[in-house]
Chain A
Amino acid sequence: MNSIMTHGLAAQAEVHQVVRDASGLISSTWLLIAFPLLGAAVLLLGGRRLDKTGHLIGTAASCLSFVMAVALFVAMLGESGDARAFNVPLWEWFNAAGYQVEVGLLLDQLSMAFVLLITGVGSLIHVYSIGYMEHDERRRRFFGYLNLFVAAMLLLVLASDYLILFIGWEGVGLASYLLIGFWQHKPSAAVAAKKAFVVNRVGDMGMVLAIASMIVVFGSSSFELVFAGAGDAPTSWLNALGLLLLLAACGKSAQFPLQSWLLDAMEGPTPVSALIHAATMVTAGVYLVVRSAAIYDLAPEARTAVVLVGTITLLMGAIIGCAKDDIKKALAGSTMSQIGYMMLAAGLGPAGYAFAIFHLITHGFFKANMFLGAGSVMHGMNDEVNMRRFGGLRAAMPVTFLTFALGYLAIIGIPPFAGYFSKDKIIEAAFADNILIGLCALIGAGITAFYMTRVMLMTFLTSKRWAEDVHPHESPRVMTWPLIGLAALSLVGGAALLYVGGGIVEWLEPVTGEEHHDLPLPVAALIAITLVVVVAGVAVAWLLYGRRPVPVEAPAGNPLTVAARRDLYGDAVNEAVLMRPGQYLTRSLVYVENRGVDGAVIGAAKAVGGLSARWRRWQTGFVRSYALTMLTGAGLVVVAMLLVRLP
């Protein structure tokens, strides 16, 4: 017993650096959140008079936050490698019955990486939206929601207590709901928003139960006390916590079995899909798992579950991505799949945490790049999303094409583009852990190459299949510059993150720990095999879509295609497994309730109501009866004083 505990504590000390109280610039970390929050408040409360300037205010708020983030980053670089974690206490929220919640921020290497991603990509997408939403009369509101999202997301990654994190978690959920349903006049958008909301509630139950369990086991929900106590907690509790947090992560990050909302969420405006449903919010689940490393490190079963969920989702998402003709849905399937990779890596423990975050960041670059590219295409094509109606857009939209192509090369993992470095690391780590998981990751890479090549071919190459009244044109500069920025990051982001100044692995090491497993085969061989698989995927896509003309009407397709078109029956499964039994359950419950519970509840309500109606009559309005009541009361009080006393 004793030795196990010592071992556990030793492992803690190894991983967790000392968190210092912030001073100087870093104690102003809260400004990061304050800027966009203020922006949201101004935009949403400001009313019509801000309609003309609202988008500029929103963009400025986000950019200020980014400038602040860069300043903080520089300040952090000035510290030595293992002394870069800062506690920024703000105020005590409440302290009752031994449960204390401190509203505070934790700025360390992990949250810094997220802050830079959120504010950086977020600001680019704000700029892009100025052009994309130009003709929308509710543009001010749109920017208000975007700012709200940025603020909530920053709170999520900066919180130093699970309860505060949960506020950010719900905040991004709210912003996501509002933005998916932004075009609420479309019933499909309203339904999609509702679906995202409901599915996310399932995940949130996991979060709520996890926080409640923490309070029971550790007496606190602050990172500091939970992580410090994890070493002494029973493994069963840690596994339960790990699984509950995984459930939360599945909801937010659209992982199996809570993946179904993400594809529908594409009903939102495209910048939203890029920012929330590709680059940042949907990665919150990965953040949660990596942040909870101290729990997962000691919960092997929960970690296995994370790996399984990640692996299943990465294959599912990839297969769905192959069959979608809607460009945004194809990209959404790809997002699911790529987050599956991150989850897989996160489930590998210290061997994979850093790579999960690495891939998360590069994915943020290239996926936002491609989503914005898709938005640019839609902008030029009268909001057409069906790729069977695209084709040959290379000439009409050269900037969009080139930037999209860089994103494409990055995601399929061609060296030296960003995705090559990050995905390759995950495949290596997966192979080192388990051959079967490694093979799945490898196959996923092949499918990724296939469906992305398909998107590329159907959209930009091949013959023109445009609808008659469509005249594609390049988007305005305010939209292409963010594309160029993100494309540049897709090009050099991976190498830069891996190699500049020790790279991201060394940067994150104090937070996530590091562990190296030996590969069963030489690294160079694995890289070669991966590339071969990728090239094979590209080749198959070329054979199917490049050489042959793409029909405008989708062909019937084989059973797998049909299944993939229908999201691998995700909704059907939901219906069969959750909805129908749920309906039966509710029906039978309604029956029981009508017969039994209702009787009691309505009876109680009626009794209380009746009591209320009767007691109301005491209020006669006559002073004499009031005085009599008082006199009686006084008599009772005096009698009670004289007769009753506590021991």
Chain B
Amino acid sequence: MNAPDLEYAALLPMIIVLGAAVVGVLVEAFVPRGPRHLVQVLLALVALAAAFVQVVRLGGTEIVGAVGSVAIDGPALFMQGTVLVLAFVSVMFFAERRIEGGADAFAPAASSLPGSEDERVLVRERVLQTEVYPLAMFSVGGMMLFPAANDLLMMFVALEILSLPLYLLCGMARRRRLLSQEAALKYFLLGAFASAFFLFGAAFVYGFSGSVRFSDIDAALGARIGQEGLLLAGVGLMAVGLLFKIGAVPFHAWTPDVYQGAPTQVTAFMAACTKLAAFGAMLRLFYVALGGVRTDWQPMLWAVAIVTMVVGIIVALTQTDVKRMLAYSSIAHAGFILTALVAVDQVAVSAILFYLATYGFTTLGAFAVVTLVRDAGGEATHLSKWAGLGKRSPLLAATFGLFLLALAGIPLTSGFVGKLAVFSAAFQGGAMPLVIVGVVTSAVAAFFYVRVIVLMFFSEPAAEGPSVAVPSMWTTFGIGVGVAATVLLGVMPGPLLDLAEQASVFIR
């Protein structure tokens, strides 16, 4: 058997990122502790930038490569490019060291027992743990492969590559380590459970079609060879695996706990990038492989979309923790995006691509702001502590207010254009009831977003309120990118919309 022919140019972005991850592991082993942090950060940033350049150069490519298991086409490249930009900003947040007084947001050694003497010594010696960078790079590699995967096995592999490092990253918070470790364990257990569903479903679909290749599955659907029960159950189970990753109800239960427990920088990364990659994979699976049975899966996704929007928004109303509120908001946003996904239309693809990019920037920025509001115990995430923040720190409060308005979908922010795009795609796809639910829940959502703005600007400051940390250039620049993207894509969305439209055709 010969070695397979690989299209190295098309795969180069992923090779760069995964290669950088491997080199990062070597850096851990061989570079002395002093310069290690800087080397890891620069390695990650340079690799992400280089991969991005290669993605841009690949623009317009349409090939199915790696023996048919990877498709590099418009949606894949758009997703990869967006993941790389968002990951670039996330890594900058990871690198922040000023707000913890020389340390970063991660535990000095994840293996040390919380509260033990070991831990105290490490903290006192200001040990920095830099494994987070290679872990994040592995995860980014998986996120790039996930929306490009063109067969069921590759999709499963990508799912695992992106998930496993994330489970670890979630458990590495410097403060409140027990909460963080609990979150990691929950995420891991439930993630493994969801992966099992996906794999089980993949086996069923393979049993039906005799192939794992998306084009073969599509062809088998056309032939209609009987045994539909096998196919439909398989589709349902695979959907469960993917819906878990995007945080759709009723597979969302991990989201608030994990978002809250994970280091906020990791939450930002996860909220922006994982959702994007998972939607990318879902689009390809359902449009390319399973488009032929859309009438079978559309009703199910309709129901999931409605439940996701309603539950996400309603439970968000009574949240008292900023991170949990943003977590439920991310659940609701998954519901908004699902409304377009069920439309099965090229317009829907471009709308979703656009929405994911805008949502990514906004949510990254919002979580980054959360890292700056601190008291003695670390981040002050309880909403009552945010009262009157606008009086003490108007710029920070205004920035957070902008992100909240964008999440609520107020005009002149990117969130408005994104929502308009997905809802009009759903409308054109005939999903009027979904649009109505979407608009009504958006209106309810505005309540809890605006409530935070009111709290920040029109309440008396809490007596022993938190202080606002002055971040280094890393975080400042990252938040600046978020603000710029949120405003620019709200006022001038044309170029990105055009790009998303050009990139909206899947290769089959």
Contacts and interface: CB of A to CB of B under 8 A. Distances in A.
A644 interface: yes
A502 interface: no
Contacts of A97: 424, 427-428
Interface in A607-647: 608-609, 611-613, 615-616, 618-619, 621, 623, 625-627, 629-630, 632-634, 636-638, 640-642, 644-647
Nearest to B240: A634
Interface stretch (A60-68, A88-96, A247-255, A414-422): A88-96
A630 B193 contact: yes
B318 A641 contact: no
Contacts of B424: 96-97
A633 B251 contact: yes
Nearest to A644: B299
Interface residues of A, number: 37
B207 to A, nearest CB: 15
A510 B108 CA distance: 75
Contacts of B229: 642
A96 B295 contact: no
B19 interface: no
Contacts of B233: 638, 641-642
B237 A646 contact: no
Give the interface residue-count category, chain B: 35 or more
B462 interface: no
B251 A645 contact: no
Contacts of A93: 491-494
B251 A641 contact: no
B202 interface: no
A641 B208 CA distance: 15
Interface string B428-463: 100000000000000010000000000000000000
B298 interface: yes
A88 B444 CA distance: 39
A174 to B, nearest CB: 14
A93 B421 CA distance: 12
Question: Which one of A95, A618, A632, A640 has the highest number of Cβ atoms from chain B below 10 Å of its Cβ?
Answer: A640
B304 A637 contact: yes
The secondary structure that dominates the A interface is: helix
A609 to B, nearest CB: 6
The secondary structure that dominates the B interface is: helix
B361 interface: no
A646 B299 contact: yes
Contact of B256 (A103, A619, A623): A619
Nearest to B492: A91
Given A96-B424, A609-B317, A611-B314, A619 B253 contact: yes
Contacts of B254: 626
Interface in B225-260: 229, 232-233, 235-237, 239-240, 243-244, 249-251, 253-254, 256-257
Given A618-B253, A642-B229, A94 B417 contact: yes
Given A92-B494, A634-B236, A621 B318 contact: no
Interface string B297-325: 11110011000000100111111000000
B420 interface: yes
B311 A615 contact: yes
Nearest to A636: B250
A96 B423 CA distance: 9
A292 to B, nearest CB: 24
B318 A612 contact: yes
B444 A608 contact: yes
Nearest to B204: A638
A95 B240 CA distance: 34
B100 interface: no
Contacts of A633: 240, 249-251
Contact of A627 (B185, B189, B319): B189
B88 interface: no
A616 B257 CA distance: 12
A640 B194 contact: no
Interface in A60-119: 91-97, 103
Contacts of B421: 96
Nearest to B416: A94
Given A97-B424, A630-B190, A632-B250, A612 B314 contact: yes
Contacts of A634: 197, 236-237, 240, 251
A130 to B, nearest CB: 28
Nearest to A98: B424
B186 interface: yes
B314 A608 contact: yes
Nearest to B186: A623
Contacts of B7: none
A632 B249 CA distance: 11
B62 to A, nearest CB: 26
A609 B319 CA distance: 11
A612 B319 CA distance: 9
Contacts of A637: 236-237, 239-240, 243, 300, 304
Contact of A641 (B185, B232, B243): B232
B296 interface: yes
B157 to A, nearest CB: 22
A634 B254 CA distance: 15
Interface string A334-353: 00000000000000000000
A618 B243 CA distance: 19
Given A637-B304, A641-B300, A630 B250 contact: yes
A626 B253 CA distance: 6
B318 A642 contact: no
Contacts of A91: 492, 494-495
A275 to B, nearest CB: 26
Question: Which one of B194, B243, B421, B494 has the highest number of Cβ atoms from chain A below 10 Å of its Cβ?
Answer: B494
Contacts of A618: 253
A630 B251 contact: yes
Interface in B247-283: 249-251, 253-254, 256-257
B315 A615 contact: yes
A647 B430 CA distance: 14
Nearest to B318: A612
A96 to B, nearest CB: 4
Contacts of A627: 189-190, 193
A208 to B, nearest CB: 13
B305 to A, nearest CB: 13
B456 to A, nearest CB: 19
Contacts of B256: 619
Interface in B66-116: none
A630 B318 contact: no
A340 B240 CA distance: 69
A562 B263 CA distance: 72
Interface string A584-622: 000000000000000000000000110111011011010
A251 to B, nearest CB: 22
Contacts of A619: 253, 256-257, 315
A613 B497 CA distance: 39
A561 to B, nearest CB: 46
A625 to B, nearest CB: 8
A619 to B, nearest CB: 6
Contacts of A611: 314
A97 B194 CA distance: 38
Contacts of A621: 257
A92 to B, nearest CB: 4
Contact of A615 (B240, B304, B314, B444): B314
Contact of A629 (B185, B239, B253, B417): B253
Contacts of B491: 93, 103
8 contacts: A612-B317, A618-B253, A619-B257, A630-B194, A630-B240, A633-B240, A641-B239, A644-B300
A-B pairs, top 3 by smallest CB distance, nearest first, are A633-B250, A626-B253, A641-B236
Interface of A: 91-97, 103, 608-609, 611-613, 615-616, 618-619, 621, 623, 625-627, 629-630, 632-634, 636-638, 640-642, 644-647
Given A97-B427, A621-B257, A641-B300, 6 more contacts: A91-B494, A612-B317, A615-B315, A637-B239, A637-B243, A640-B236
